């Protein structure tokens, strides 16, 4: 009987070691996630969103400009952004110097007035980024609307951020889902906070079990992974009200690992100027998932 006891003790030690390794892995993942969130040009730096009107849109600080830079830019006019059927261009005001990408730009060289700078939007991307001091901005395209997303690395939201809040790590919420695949990825519409929709493709439906209850979620394909926008009963109490995001690896042999300990808040939880997707109708779970990121306030 000793060998049975020995085998049992080895199993227990092995299980504890595996659980400790998992906790270490998730703890490090969360630390890396917050480090990225706090970094330059991430979501905590987003300081404004200005939808462009056809024609001239003024840009500056300290006045009634169409695109209002933050106070870290000296008071005055920065330039003019013109939206036409040909696209979006920026003409800098005299004396203003900036970077277009990493290239220095100004209104003129010597006595020669330079042509306006073409601002390419983020869709299809990459966008043309204009940088001045701690600030940067670029054009975003959402449906038929074009806007300016403003970022400032000195944004108070970034400087005063107290840190993310998380549930205790719980291995119960790391589950294996089965992908009920479509013959081909299917185009789907996903609602967003602007009242519009984003176009994605979905590979199928994920089916899995939590606390003995059969559940399903529709993932969409984003780059080389699956992207899941979901809501659950905790959205009314302890997690972000509009829902959370979960990323997962692409299916392997029809299986997908879903780790809700990595469920994260969308950008809209950190800035009012994001354009987040919302959970599709079928992604509203009726079972609470007290795992992953909590509300920050």
Q: Please give the full DSSP string across 255-281, using - where no structure is assigned.
A: EEEEEGGG-B--GGGT-TT---B---G
Distance CA 78, CA 75 (A): 9
Q: Are residues 222 and 92 in the same domain?
A: no
* Percentage with pLDDT > 90 across the chain: 86
pLDDT of residue 201: 98
Q: Are residues 171 and 204 in the same domain?
A: yes
Q: Confidence class of residue 75 from pLDDT cuts 50, 70 and 90?
A: confident
- In eight-state DSSP terms, residue 252 is B
**Can you give the CATH number for the domain in which 66 is found?**
2.60.200
Structural domain harbouring 292: 162-297
Q: Are residues 200 and 74 in the same domain?
A: no
Q: Which of 159, 194, 220 is the last residue of a domain?
A: 159
Q: Confidence class of residue 4 from pLDDT cuts 50, 70 and 90?
A: low
What number is the average pLDDT over the span 262-288? 98
Q: Are residues 143 and 199 in the same domain?
A: no
Q: Are residues 154 and 167 in the same domain?
A: no
What number is the average pLDDT over the span 212-240? 98
Distance CA 101, CA 139 (A): 13
Which residue is it, tokens 């967003």? 192
pLDDT of residue 16: 73
Q: Confidence class of residue 3 from pLDDT cuts 50, 70 and 90?
A: low
Q: Are residues 167 and 155 in the same domain?
A: no
Distance CA 273, CA 86 (A): 26
- In eight-state DSSP terms, residue 40 is T
Determine which of 3-17, 48-62, 242-256 has the lowest per-residue pLDDT on average. Answer: 3-17
- In eight-state DSSP terms, residue 234 is G
Q: Are residues 31 and 92 in the same domain?
A: no
Q: Which of 107, 134, 159 is the last residue of a domain?
A: 159
CB atoms < 10 A from the CB of 176, how many?
11
What number is the average pLDDT over the span 7-15? 51
Sorted by sequence, the CB contacts under 8 Å of residue 251 that are 6+ apart come out as 179, 181, 203, 226
Q: Are residues 173 and 287 in the same domain?
A: yes
Contact 106, 96 (CB under 8 A): yes
pLDDT of residue 120: 98
Is the pTM higher than 0.85? The answer reads yes
Contact 26, 257 (CB under 8 A): no
Q: Are residues 180 and 194 in the same domain?
A: yes
pLDDT (tens digit per residue) in 89-115: 999 999 899 999 999 998 766 556 678
Q: Confidence class of residue 10 from pLDDT cuts 50, 70 and 90?
A: very low
Q: Please give the full DSSP string across 185-242, using - where no structure is assigned.
A: EEEEEEEBTTS-EEEEEEEEEEEEEETTEEEEE--EEETTEEEEEEB-GGGGTTS-TT
pLDDT (tens digit per residue) in 171-189: 999 999 999 999 999 999 9
pLDDT (tens digit per residue) in 223-232: 999 999 999 9
Q: Are residues 80 and 99 in the same domain?
A: yes
How many domains are contained in the chain?
3
Q: Are residues 167 and 293 in the same domain?
A: yes
CA–CA distance from 88 to each of 57, 59, 143 (Å)? 10, 13, 16
Q: Are residues 50 and 145 in the same domain?
A: yes
pLDDT of residue 14: 56
pLDDT at 48 exceeding the cut of 70: yes
């Amino acid at each position: 009987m000793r060998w049975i006891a020995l085998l049992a003790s080895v199993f227990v030690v092995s299980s504890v070691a595996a659980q400790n390794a998992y906790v270490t892995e998730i703890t490090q993942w969360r630390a890396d996630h917050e480090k990225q969130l706090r970094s330059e040009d991430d979501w905590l730096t987003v300081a404004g969103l200005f939808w462009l009107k056809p024609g001239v849109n003024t840009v500056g600080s300290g006045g009634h400009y169409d695109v209002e830079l933050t106070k870290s830019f000296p008071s005055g006019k920065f330039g003019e952004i013109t939206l036409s059927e040909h696209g979006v261009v920026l003409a800098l005001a005299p004396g203003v110097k900036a970077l277009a990408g990493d290239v220095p730009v100004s209104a003129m060289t010597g006595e020669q007035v330079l042509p306006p700078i073409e601002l390419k939007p983020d869709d299809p991307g990459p966008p043309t980024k204009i940088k001045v001091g701690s600030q940067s901005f670029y054009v975003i395209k959402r449906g038929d609307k074009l806007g300016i997303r403003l970022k400032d690395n000195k944004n108070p939201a970034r400087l005063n951020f107290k840190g993310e809040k998380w549930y205790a790590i719980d291995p119960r919420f790391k589950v294996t889902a089965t992908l009920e695949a479509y013959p081909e990825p299917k185009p789907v519409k996903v609602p967003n906070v602007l009242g519009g929709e984003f176009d994605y493709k979905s590979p199928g439906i994920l089916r899995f079990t939590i606390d003995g209850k059969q559940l399903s979620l529709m993932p969409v394909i984003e780059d080389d992974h699956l992207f899941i926008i979901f809501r659950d009963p905790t959205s009314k109490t302890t997690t972000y009200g509009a829902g959370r995001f979960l990323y997962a690896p692409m299916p392997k042999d029809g299986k997908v690992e879903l780790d809700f300990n990595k469920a994260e808040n969308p950008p809209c939880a950190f800035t009012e100027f994001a354009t987040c997707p919302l959970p599709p109708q079928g992604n509203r779970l009726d079972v609470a998932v007290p795992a992953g990121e909590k509300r920050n306030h």
